[in-house]
Structures are given as structure tokens and as C-alpha cells.
């Protein structure tokens, strides 16, 4: 009576393939759920999530001079190939123009990653953001030049949590000063270009974390590193010591 001898080599290859597929799936899941790192431990550890929560809504002042900070943060959020839905109020585009393609490349982004939506009505922008957060294939969603109420921010926050896609709102500068403005966003940031911006040809920002769910307000002086594509604390003291974060009142 003949007995079939199992092909151990074939079984071993199948096991190896399954192991590799499982590793790839875990890596992809981790990339979709891991916090958005600034690339600087001093900032990341000050946030409750070890960076910005990926499945969350974050508010930043929309001053046109801070385009570099916004672009750098998007690069940290989406990587080299992630697609970004940028929903802009028509008034903002009239004032600041469209994002500059070569400028995006400085932050490791390219124009092909962006889908721009423009509307004169905030309600349409909010609708587009919600739909974008529920759309497979997008890595981040931006709302530019709007100041949504608490209900609208709550809807965006829930949609971001459900899909682990980060949402960013670039608030009109005058709105940011209304610190009592209710919002369901996880963080709110005030970013200002500093007077040291021309030092060594790099742009520096005063980054003030005004609100943080589960955290405390802090501030830093930061700049963008074009080689490493990350933020780092600016070297602002004569002795060469790096800036360190501190709590604000």
C-alpha cells in the first residue's frame, strides 16, 4: 500500500507566506492607527497620545504665513504617497491664493497628493469634510477658513475616530483668539512665524498648544528639517542649548 509523503517544503513556503502577510497587515494597521509624530520626542511626549491622535480633529490658526507648518504637519500625517482632501473657503483663496506646488515639495509633498474643493459656504465645506473622512483612500482631510460650531466639530471628531483619518481645521485668525469658543477638537494650536525666521535660511514658528484633551497647554519654538522631514526644537540660545517646552498659564 502506497502512502503519500507530505511535501514539507511546500508547506513551509505556505507558512512563510502567511507569516509575511500577517506582518504586512499588522504594519499597515499600525500605520493607520499610530499617532502622528512631530519627529521630536519633546513634543510627542507632551501629548497624551505620544504625538497627535490620528483619529481626531485638530484646530490650527489659518494665518497664511504658517503655510509651512501646515504642510509639514500634513507630511508627517500622510507620508510620501497619502492623499489629502483640502476643502477651502472661497474667501481664503481670494486672499492667499492656491498652495504653491514647489513650496509643497520643500515639505516632501507633491501636488498629485491633493484634491482641492472650494465653496463660498461653510456648510458645504463641512459636508465635504465628513464625506472625505468616510472615503477609502484618503489619508487626511483639511477644512480651511471656517469656524464650525460645537455640533459640527463633534460630527467631524466622531467621523475621524471611526476611520482613523486625521482632520485639520485651519481657523480664521480672528476666531482663534476667542478661547471660549466651544469645540470637540482634541487639540487647538496657535502658530506664529517668529522674528528668528531668517536665521540659517529656515523658517521658525512659535507653536502654542492652547488646548489638549487630557493634556495641558505648552509652547515651543520649532523649525522644519528638510533632510529628515520632521520638526525639531530650534537652537535659540547663545550657548547652543535647544529650546525646551514649558507650561503656559
Tens of pLDDT, residue by residue over 60-118, are 987 767 888 999 999 999 998 899 999 999 888 777 777 777 778 889 999 899 999 99
> What are the helix (H) ranges across the chain?
8-33, 41-44, 67-78, 90-96, 101-106, 122-133, 150-163, 173-176
The CA distances from residue 217 to 100, 128, 211, 248, in Å, are 32, 31, 6, 6
Q: Where are the domains of the chain?
A: 35-188
Is beta strand 83-89 parallel, antiparallel or unpaired with respect to 114-119? parallel
Superfamily of structural domain 35-188: P-loop containing nucleotide triphosphate hydrolases (3.40.50.300)
pTM for this predicted structure:
0.80
What would the pLDDT profile of 125-184 be if each residue is shown by its tens digit? Answer: 999 999 999 998 999 999 999 999 999 999 999 999 999 999 999 998 776 555 567 899
Amino acid at each position: 500500500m502506497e502512502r503519500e509523503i507530505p511535501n514539507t517544503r511546500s508547506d513551509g513556503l505556505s507558512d512563510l507566506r502567511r507569516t509575511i502577510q500577517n506582518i504586512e497587515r499588522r504594519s499597515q494597521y499600525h500605520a493607520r492607527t499610530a499617532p502622528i509624530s512631530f519627529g521630536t520626542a519633546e513634543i510627542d511626549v507632551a501629548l497624551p497620545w505620544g504625538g497627535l491622535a490620528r483619529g481626531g480633529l485638530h484646530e490650527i490658526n489659518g494665518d497664511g504665513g504658517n503655510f509651512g507648518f501646515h504642510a509639514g504637519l500634513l507630511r508627517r500625517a500622510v507620508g510620501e504617497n497619502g492623499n489629502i482632501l483640502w476643502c477651502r473657503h472661497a474667501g481664503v483663496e481670494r486672499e492667499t491664493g492656491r498652495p504653491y506646488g514647489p513650496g509643497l515639495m520643500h515639505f516632501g509633498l507633491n501636488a498629485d497628493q491633493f484634491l482641492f474643493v472650494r465653496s463660498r459656504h461653510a456648510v458645504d465645506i463641512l459636508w465635504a469634510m465628513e464625506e472625505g473622512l468616510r472615503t477609502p483612500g484618503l489619508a487626511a482631510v483639511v477644512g480651511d477658513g471656517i469656524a464650525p460650531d460645537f455640533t459640527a466639530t463633534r460630527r467631524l471628531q466622531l467621523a475621524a475616530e471611526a476611520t482613523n483619518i486625521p482632520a485639520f481645521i485651519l481657523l480664521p485668525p480672528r476666531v482663534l483668539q476667542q478661547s471660549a469658543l466651544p469645540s470637540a477638537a482634541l487639540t487647538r494650536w496657535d502658530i506664529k512665524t517668529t522674528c528668528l525666521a531668517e536665521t540659517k535660511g529656515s523658517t521658525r514658528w512659535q507653536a502654542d498648544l492652547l488646548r489638549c484633551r487630557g493634556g495641558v497647554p505648552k509652547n515651543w519654538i520649532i523649525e522644519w528639517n528638510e533632510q529628515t522631514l520632521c520638526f525639531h526644537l530650534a537652537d535659540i540660545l547663545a550657548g547652543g542649548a535647544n529650546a525646551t517646552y514649558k507650561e503656559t498659564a
